[in-house]
Amino acid sequence: MLPIVTIEWLNAHREEVVLVDIRWYLDGRSGRAAYEVGHAPGAVFIDLERWLAGPPSPERGRHPLPEAEHFARGMSAHGISDDSVVVAYDDAGGVIAARLAWMLRVTDHSAALLDGGLSAFGGELEVGRGPQVAVGAFTPREWPAERLATIDDAMNRSNVVFDARNYDRYVGEGDSVDPRSGHIPGAISVPCRSNLDANGYTRSPGELREIFEAAGLRVGAEVVSYCGSGVTACHNLLTMEWAGLGSGRLFPGSWSQYSHDPSRPAATGALPG
């Protein structure tokens, strides 16, 4: 299944799809509350912090990957089974919903992002707590080691390391959520939101290839993607795949894990360092 699908594709396959709303906000606003104000017809809401992340810690970061059994319970509770086709969306062009789509895809499930997210539905929204769903049958599967990166991988200058955070956090202009500002030395700034056009839709594969290649992506390179806590980094990985540039690896702990140890070097400014 392609990593990104259009609203036209969704409308043609709606009866075959579990549509999932994954809204989450760095500033602490409630994704559930936003969902209840207005969501795509028939969509279920999945709480990112409850089901798509394990307990936070300095050692693992703010949003470490959850245990496979916990993830499976969350998917089952929301009507997702092993053979389900899942389409995830948010109100940020997919940069948050990418976390669920990536987690499902790397464990060999059919999942994609909805291009344009919530705005693709226009004004045809539902309100309230959403539909009641039957419990699914979702089998726990371990996270594949070949799709994950470690701190050592992120520090390895032979890898191409992309930082998906907004540029101001990359250069070190202040970071209110993590212990230190800056970026991993050698990492290149590729803000995930640069993957979107002015209307919040994914750029064409050709445009995305230009963005990633300009940032240093080359054929055969080992790519590591990170962000603040391993959420929006997934968007860079999905859009790379959409552009035909391979799959890359996620550094789950990302800057929130890396920056907790003061002995680890941190770079600031526009250059990778």
Secondary structure class of 5 (helix, strand, coil): strand
Name, in order, each residue with C-beta under 8 angstroms of 211's C-beta and a sequence gap of 6 or more.
190, 194, 195, 203
Q: Which residue has the tokens 């969306």?
A: 89
152: Cα separation from own chain's centroid = 21
Name, in order, each residue with C-beta under 8 angstroms of 234's C-beta and a sequence gap of 6 or more.
98, 99, 101, 102, 103, 225, 250
Q: Which of 227, 231, 240, 245 is catalytic?
A: 227
Range 37-76 burial, b when 16+ CB lie within 10 A, else e: eebbeebbbbbbeebbbbeeeeebbbbbbbeeebbbbbbb
Instruction: Identify which of 193, 133, 141, 135 has the alpha carbon closest to the alpha carbon of residue 163.
Output: 193
Q: Report CA torsion sign: 144, 251, 235, 204.
A: negative
Instruction: Identify which of 3, 21, 26 has the alpha carbon closest to the alpha carbon of residue 231.
Output: 26
For residues 14 and 17, what is the distance between their CA atoms, to the nearest angstrom?
5
227 is catalytic: yes
Q: Which residue has the tokens 């389900």?
A: 84
Q: Which residues are catalytic?
A: 227
